[in-house]
């Protein structure tokens, strides 16, 4: 979706302000939201792409007004409500207002330890050969799905060079919609800044994105 989360190239945000010796969390509630969101994902059976979409899919003003972990909280509430696990009324009441639905599972201590130490590999065996090779000129498609996508607006319609094949990975756009993993070849595509931002751009700057094959077309077709 063309949401406020897609920030590359937006003007007006101001200076970057680093914080010395920054803690992992700035308040206890932030750490609780973090832990709850990861743990409840097991009960709610949502995947990482559904989680990202739940966070970014909100009115731009709301997205920009919320702090990072407030967005996590809002996303978590959305995911729980969508699945009928926890309603907004229950959060207001601070207690269940009906019988619990059967959960998809419970993340216990051992599963939490395994999640931290092993993670969730996104690469899958390839069933078809890759369409592009390193060095190929490709155009990022000019597409504007209203659903989840990981193709940022600032590269859409632009031509870049395939730098590296990253393997065949779970396709975020399909996975976020519950359409299965639909693994696709993933490429690191490098753009010259002048092709992204115009003739005045820094001639010494190159920017890359990691793009799944369905985002790309040969540069000599289209746009």
Partner 1 sequence: MSHEHEHDHGGSHLSEVELRVRALESVLLQKGYIDPAAIDVLIEAYETKIGPRNGAKVVAKAWVDQAFRRKLLSEPAQTLASLGFAGLQGEHTTIVENTPKLHNMVVCTLCSCYPWPLLGLPPVWYKSGPYRSRAVIDPRGVLRDFGVELPDDTEIRVWDSTAEVRYLDLPARRGGARRSSLPSSPGTA
- Map the footprint of partner 1 across residues 23-82, applying CB under 8 A: 23-29, 31-36, 38-40, 43-44, 52, 55-56, 63-68, 70-71, 73, 76-77, 80
Interface with partner 1 includes 161 (CB under 8 A)? no
170 forms part of the interface with partner 1 (CB under 8 A): yes
Tokens of 81: 């409500």
Specify the DSSP class assigned to residue 58: S
Beta bridge partners, 65, equal none
Site string for partner 1, 89-128 (x = CB under 8 A): -xxxxxxx---x--x--xxxx-xxx-xxxxxxxxx-----
Q: Which of 50, 57, 79, 154 binds partner 1 (CB under 8 A)?
A: 154
Nearer to partner 1, 109 or 135 (CB): 109
DSSP for 94-139, written as a single string: TS-SSPPPPPS----HHHHHHHHHH----EE--SS--S--TT-EEE
Rounded Cα distance between 82 and 95, Å, is 18
CA 105 to chain centre: 24
- Going by DSSP bridges, is the β-strand pair 184-192/123-124 parallel, antiparallel, or unpaired? unpaired
Nearer to partner 1, 62 or 220 (CB): 62
Nearest residue (CB) to partner 1, 20 versus 129: 20
Q: For helices 28-44 and 68-82, what crossing angle results, to 10°?
A: 30
Judged by DSSP in three states, 43 sits in helix
Instruction: Output 36 or 220, the one with its CB closest to partner 1.
Output: 36
Q: Give the residue, chosen from 50, 174, 212, 216, that forms a contact with partner 1 under the rule CB under 8 A.
A: 212
The CA-to-CA distance between both ends of the chain, in Å, stands at 20
Does position 146 bind partner 1 by CB under 8 A?
A: no
In terms of phi and psi (left: phi > 0; alpha: psi -120 to 50; beta: otherwise), the region of 36 is alpha
How near is the Cβ of 32 to partner 1 at its closest, in Å? 5
Nearer to partner 1, 79 or 217 (CB): 79
Q: 84: which DSSP letter?
A: T
Q: Per rule CB under 8 A, is residue 132 in the interface with partner 1?
A: no
15 binds partner 1 (CB under 8 A): yes
Q: How far is the CB of 33 from partner 1 (least distance, A)?
A: 6
Q: Considering the complex, what minimum distance in angstroms separates the CB of residue 150 from partner 1?
A: 5
Q: Which is nearer to partner 1, 34 or 141 (CB)?
A: 34
């Amino acid at each position: 979706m063309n949401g406020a989360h897609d920030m590359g190239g937006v003007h007006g945000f101001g200076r970057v302000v680093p914080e010395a010796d920054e803690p992992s969390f700035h308040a206890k509630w932030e750490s609780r939201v973090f832990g709850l969101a990861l743990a409840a994902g097991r009960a709610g059976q949502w995947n990482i792409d559904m989680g990202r979409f739940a966070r970014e899919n909100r009115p731009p003003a709301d997205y920009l007004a919320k702090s990072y972990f407030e967005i996590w909280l809002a996303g978590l509430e959305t995911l729980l409500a969508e699945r009928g696990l926890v309603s907004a009324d229950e959060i207001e009441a601070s207690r269940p207002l009906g019988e619990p639905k059967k959960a998809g599972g419970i993340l216990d201590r051992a599963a939490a330890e395994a999640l931290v130490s092993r993670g969730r590999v996104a690469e899958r065996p390839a069933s078809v050969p890759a369409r592009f090779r390193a060095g190929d000129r490709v155009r990022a498609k000019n597409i504007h799905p209203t659903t989840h996508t990981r193709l940022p607006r600032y590269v859409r319609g632009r031509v870049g060079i395939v730098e590296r094949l990253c393997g065949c990975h779970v396709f975020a756009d399909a996975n976020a919609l519950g359409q299965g993993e639909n693994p696709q070849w993933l490429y690191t595509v490098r753009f010259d800044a002048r092709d992204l931002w115009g003739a005045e751009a820094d001639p010494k700057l190159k920017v890359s994105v990691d793009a799944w094959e369905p985002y790309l077309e040969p540069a000599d077709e289209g746009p």
